[in-house]
Amino acid sequence: MGRVSPALTAAGVRDWLQRFATAVDTHASDLTDLDRPIGDSDHGVNLQRGMHAVLAALDAAEPATPGAALVKAGSTLVSTVGGASGPLLGTLLRRTGKALGDAESADGPAFAAALRAGLDAVVALGGAHVGDATLVDALAPAVEALEAGGSAQEAADAAARGAASTDELVARKGRASYLGERGIGQRDPGAASIALLIAALTEDAS
């Protein structure tokens, strides 16, 4: 099980997001099905389009640092995905990247701190907190696991548990909030995709 530390490099970010893109391809119809009960049915397709654009942008720009790579990836997601997922996921990556600054590489603590900055930006933008049945429910426990010195696998497990916890929650943000109690039993699609993103930190993820 790969640790994030030491040294997440620009190439490491490329590999991480490549694994995430592959996972999104694999699970696109599952993500879309999660999105279907709230009348939208396009989360998987939108994210697929965004991640293909991210990989193309990284190949074209060849960013030198992990921070620059994440900023590029985040901006590309904002510009291609639309809906709420584009701004939220894009802001997560962009602000995580900005927090890494110009460093050549990021060790475990530096990455955990940067991902915390990304989480904070997502909360500021979307206004959701843990328990609202959004992507924050998957992201926050992953950040906490990394801050506690956990491995990428431990963060992935925490994110997966967080995503699963949205099954039993009444959504308070986003379009799912209109379902009210009828949303119980529904996993939040954003939380599910964040769980894939964090799982992709582990090198054996696919």
Partner 1 sequence: MHVPTKLLDDPADAVTDALRGLAAVHPELTVDLEHHVVSRNHDHSGDHRPGKVGLVSGGGSGHEPLHAGFVGLGMLDAAACGAVFTSPVPDQVLAATTAASSGGGVVHVVKNYTGDVLNFQMAAELADDEDIAVETVLVDDDVAVTDSLYTAGRRGTGGTLFVEKVLGAAAEEGMALAELAALGRDVVSRSRSFGVALSPCTTPGSDRPGFDLEPGEMELGIGIHGEPGRRRVPVPATGVAREVARTSVAAIADDMPLDGEELLLLVNGMGGTPLLELQVLAGDVVTELTARGARIGRALVGNHVTSLEMAGSMVSVCRATPQLLQLWDAPVRTPALRWGA
Give the nearer residue to partner 1 in terms of CB position, either 26 or 29.
Answer: 29
What span, in angstroms and rounded, lies between the C-alpha atoms of 135 and 203? Answer: 22
CB 184 within 8 A of CB 144: no
Ramachandran angles phi, psi of 82, nearest 5°? 75, -170
Q: Considering only residues 52, 98, 161, 175, which one is a binding residue for partner 1 as defined by CB under 8 A?
A: 175
What span, in angstroms and rounded, lies between the C-alpha atoms of 203 and 198? Answer: 11
- Rounded-to-10 torsion of CA 27, 29, 30, 33: 160
Give the nearer residue to partner 1 in terms of CB position, either 103 or 125.
Answer: 125
Judged by CB under 8 A, does residue 177 bind partner 1?
yes
Smallest distance from partner 1 to CB 127, Å: 9
Given the rule CB under 8 A, which of 63-71, 142-150, 172-180, 192-200 is the region that contacts partner 1?
Answer: 172-180
| x/- letters, 77..116, toward partner 1 (CB under 8 A) | -xxxxxxxxxxx----------------------------
The one-character DSSP state at 187 is P
